[in-house]
Structures are given as C-alpha cells and as structure tokens.
C-alpha cells in the first residue's frame, strides 16, 4: 500500500487524479508455507492482473522482484521507477552483525537466495523459514523466535523503519534478488494512454539494470524455487552485472559470473543478462528454461 500511495502522490503532483484500489493477494494470505511450495512469485500479482483485465484498475504497482519474468499475453510493464536501496539488511535486537552470532543461532528468511548466501557466509547457523508482512516478521523476531532476520533494506526504509537495520550487507557479501528495491507498474498492453502518463516516472538506468537482472532469471528459469541472485549497475554507457547461483544440495557452493558491457537499450541489457546466465550454466548451475 505504501508503494501505491507513493505512485499516487507522484502522479497527483503532476496533475493526475488517482484513486487507490487496495487488494490482498494470495501471496499475502498464505503465510504458513514458503513461496517455492505454493506457487511462487505469481501469487503476488494474479489478483492485480485480474483487476486490470476487468477494467477495475488502470495500473498495478508491484515490487519488481515479485513479478514473474514473463507477463501473461495482453499485459505490459509500462514503467520501472528509480530504485531504492537494493541491498539486504540484517535486523536483530541483540546482535550487531551476522559475524557476532554464536554458532547454532537461528536466522529467519524464506528466501532460497538468502538461505544459500547465508550458509556460505556462516555454515554453522540454523536457517529457519520466515513469512508474513514486515510487521509480522519483526514481531516474530522481537518475540525471540530468531536471533536475527534478513530483510530487504528498501522495504524497511520505505516504511520508516530504517532504525531497525543493524547493518546493510554489501552486494559483495549478499547479492540481491533480480529487481530488488525497484517498483514496476503494470498495465494492459493496449493502454497507451496510461503508458504515456507514466513516462515521467520512468527511470532509464534502473530499467536497464533490472532488465539485465531479470534476463538472468528468465534464462535460468528463475523462480522462488531457485536460489538465484543478480544485480546490475550502470555507469555511463556501460552496465556491470553480477549473478550468483547456490547449490541447495551442497551448502556453501556458490557459482558466480559477471561482466561489464556497453548497453544502449532494454534489448541489449537483456542480452547481457542472458550471457551471464550462460556463464553460470557452463559452470554447472542447474536451470529450467521457461517455455
């Protein structure tokens, strides 16, 4: 809802009249199982897409990391906004950093990506599932169920909870998920009027970066059931992309690939992502190409 209100405020500032249609998705409702076991990222967008299709809504605001790599026919990603901090955050009432934890401490996350990266950093820790909205996760932490939890820094900052962050993981330690920290606005493909209205909110360098990241995921068949990370940055005409894949059967085994290439548009950014994904595959990363 914060994300929708943020977009509303920006559009209103530009002279548009915007009303909010609040919705709860299956991803918000199913909290007793990991996303990889109940349908993956699509659980956060299906109801919103039905609202677009029926005409009940003109656009949908998504956390881009929750949006499947390929949208259904008739739907388009109309805008990618400037990215907030893409990194992961360490949150703990007692321990200032992951390094401070005693062996055997329980750390909460339901992200397979975070799980394999945490195991590589601290193989002596116990990683336990953690689902629910931000308030729910923090309450479970404060109730003593976990020594610490790992959350997206962007979500904490957007909700004014940055004081809960004890430490932000550098991308060299904990490579983010594709699209993490970015907002994507989805519309029906034929709504050129909405696309034009959103053009002022679009941030080209973020769009290029997340296009490369999402292309890695698309080439790998990435979903919530794949421990995959990808993060890109742009400097001038050059885009640098890092990706990592974790082996669930061999904790601590992380395959990595990176490149810096010149990009001019979304298509060339996607080609960079596809190239990096192939480097992971060539090293032995398991992939499930999307149909």
Classify 154 in phi/psi space as left (phi over 0), alpha (psi -120 to 50) or beta.
alpha
Burial 6-15 (b: 16+ CB within 10 A, else e): ebbeebeeee
Task: From 272, 199, 216, select the one nearest 65 (Cα to Cα).
Answer: 216
d(CA 210, CA 233): 9
d(CA 66, CA 227): 14
Strand order in the sheet with 228-235: 228-235, 238-246, 254-262
Let me know if 66 is a catalytic residue.
yes
Choose, from 66, 70, 85, 135, the residue flagged as catalytic.
66
CA angle 160, 166, 168 (to 5 degrees): 85
Catalytically active residues, by annotation: 66
């Amino acid at each position: 809802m914060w994300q929708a209100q943020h977009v509303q405020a920006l559009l209103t500032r530009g002279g548009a009249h915007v009303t909010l249609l609040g919705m709860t998705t299956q991803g918000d409702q199913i909290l007793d199982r990991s996303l990889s076991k109940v349908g993956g990222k699509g659980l956060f967008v299906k109801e919103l897409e039905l609202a677009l299709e029926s005409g009940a809504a003109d656009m949908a605001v998504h956390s881009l990391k929750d949006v499947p790599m390929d949208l259904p026919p008739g739907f388009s990603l109309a805008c990618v906004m400037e990215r907030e901090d893409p990194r992961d955050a360490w949150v703990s009432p007692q321990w200032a950093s992951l390094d401070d934890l005693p062996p055997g401490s329980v750390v909460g996350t339901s992200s397979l990506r975070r799980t394999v990266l945490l195991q590589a950093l601290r193989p002596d820790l116990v990683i336990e599932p953690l689902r629910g909205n931000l308030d729910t996760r923090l309450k479970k932490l404060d109730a003593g169920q976990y020594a610490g939890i790992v959350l997206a820094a962007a979500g904490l900052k957007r909700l004014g909870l940055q004081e809960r962050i004890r430490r932000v993981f550098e991308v060299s330690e904990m490579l983010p998920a594709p699209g993490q920290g970015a907002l994507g606005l989805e519309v029906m493909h034929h709504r050129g009027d909405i696309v034009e209205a959103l053009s002022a909110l679009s941030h080209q360098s973020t769009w290029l970066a997340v296009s490369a990241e999402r292309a890695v995921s698309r080439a790998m068949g990435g979903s919530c059931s794949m421990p995959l990370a990808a993060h890109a940055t742009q400097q001038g005409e050059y885009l640098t992309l890092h990706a990592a894949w974790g082996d669930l059967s061999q904790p601590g085994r992380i395959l990595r690939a990176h490149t810096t290439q010149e990009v001019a548009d979304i298509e060339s950014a996607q080609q960079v992502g596809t190239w990096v994904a192939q480097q992971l595959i060539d090293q032995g990363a398991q992939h499930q190409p999307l149909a």
